[in-house]
Amino acid sequence: MADPKNTPGAPPREVRIEKKKTNWLAWILLALGILAALLALSRCNRHEKVAAAPTPANGPAVPPVGVKHVTLPGGKVVDLQPATLNYDLQSFLASNAAAPRTFTFDKLNFDTDQPVIRADDQPTLSALGQILAAYPKANVRLVGYADARGSAAANAKLGSDRAAAVAKALSDAGIDGKRITTASGGDSNPVASNATAGGQFENRRTELVVTSK
Q: Is residue 6 part of a domain?
A: no
Q: What is the pLDDT of residue 42?
A: 61
pTM: 0.68
Q: Are strands 68-71 and 77-80 parallel, antiparallel or unpaired?
A: antiparallel
Q: What is the pLDDT of residue 34?
A: 81
Strand-pair partners of 146: none
Q: Is residue 57 part of a domain?
A: no
Task: Encode 35-97 in three state secondary structure.
Answer: HHHHHHHHHHHHHHHHHHCCCCCCCCCCCCCCCEEEECCCCCEEEECCCCHHHHHHHHHHCCC
Q: What is the pLDDT of residue 29?
A: 74
- pLDDT average, residue stretch 2-17: 53
Q: Is residue 4 part of a domain?
A: no
Q: Is residue 18 part of a domain?
A: no
Q: What is the pLDDT of residue 65?
A: 61
Strand-pair partners of 208: 103, 142
The radius of gyration of the chain's CA atoms, rounded to the nearest angstrom, is 38
pLDDT over threshold 70, residue 116? yes
Q: Is residue 199 part of a domain?
A: yes
Residues 42 and 138 in one domain: no
pLDDT per residue as tens digits for the range 59-93: 445 555 678 999 999 999 999 999 999 999 999 99
Residues of the chain above pLDDT 70, percent: 76
Higher pLDDT among residues 117 and 8, named by residue: 117
Residues 39 and 131 in one domain: no
Q: Give the domain extent around 161.
A: 68-212
Q: Is residue 164 part of a domain?
A: yes
Residues 34 and 123 in one domain: no
Q: Is residue 198 part of a domain?
A: yes
Residues of the chain above pLDDT 90, percent: 66
Residues 128 and 32 in one domain: no
Q: Is residue 142 part of a domain?
A: yes
